[in-house]
Amino acid sequence: MQAEELTNLIALWVPEQKPGISKQYPEFILPVEKLLEVMTLLKENSTTKMDYLFCLTAVDRKDGFHVVYHITSSEFLHSAVLRVILTDKVNPIVPTVCKIWRTAEYFEREVFDLFGIHFDNHPDLRRLFLEDDWIGYPLRKDYKDAFTLER
């Protein structure tokens, strides 16, 4: 499926989506409440079949936390980038997609560990890399500690 078709399809499903800045893959900025619905459609629709989530991460930007999903189809090999923007920086919550792609479970744990973004309905949301009693979320831009490498 070409990028244009995909754009049209997603515009049909979610009229309120906005195109993203990436030129590499077709990118869509979705509202949080529509995320799960669109993801499920993308995976199960017979023309998209986005069955492989190859990257899930978060970015700390000025307008909030961006959670970025890179997905692709193992059959048709077309990819897409989906993005949700969480404007609430204190207590960001986003629904989990680990029911759709199992690999998301651990990507989400990593994001929770390093950004403090809560994933709703996640089966096992614990810290992954840092110790359980670690204070703060290191990859946030406002994170400060004694050993930071900032110069």
Partner 1 sequence: MEETLLDIDMQEKEEYIINMGPQHPSTHGVLRFETCLQGEKVKYLIPHCGYIHRGIEKMCEHLTYPQIIHLTDRMDYLSAHINNEAVALCIENAMQVEVSDRVKYIRTIFAELTRIASHQLWWCAFGMDLGALTTFFYGLRDREKILDIFEETTGSRLTQSFNTPGGLMSDIHPNFQKRIKEFITYFRKKLPEYDQLLTGNIIFRERTKGIGMMTKEMAIDYGVTGPSGRGSGFHCDIRKIAPYSAYPFIKFNEITLTEGDTYSRYLVRIAEMWESLNILEQLVDNIPQGSTMLELKVIKAPKGEFYQRVETARGELGVYIVSDGGPSPARIKFRTPNFSNLFVINKLAAGHKIADLVAISGSLDLVIPDIDR
Q: Which positions touch partner 1 (CB under 8 A)?
A: 21-25, 51-55, 57, 59-61, 68, 70, 74, 77, 81, 101-103, 105-106, 110, 114, 127-131, 138-139, 149-151
Between 15 and 46, CB nearer to partner 1: 46
Give the nearest distance from C-beta 92 to partner 1 in angstroms: 15
Between 12 and 105, CB nearer to partner 1: 105
Query: What interhelical angle do 35-44 and 3-13 show, nearest 10?
Result: 130
Amino acid identity, position 25: Y
Between 17 and 72, CB nearer to partner 1: 72
Taking the C-alpha atoms of residue 97 and residue 8, their distance in angstroms, rounded to an integer, is 23
Between 81 and 86, CB nearer to partner 1: 81
Parallel, antiparallel or unpaired: strands 118-120 and 93-95: parallel
Pick the closest to residue 29 from 66, 77, 2, 72 (CA basis): 66
Give the nearest distance from C-beta 72 to partner 1 in angstroms: 8
Residue at token pair 């890179």 = 70
Dig out the tokens for 61 from the structure: 């930007």
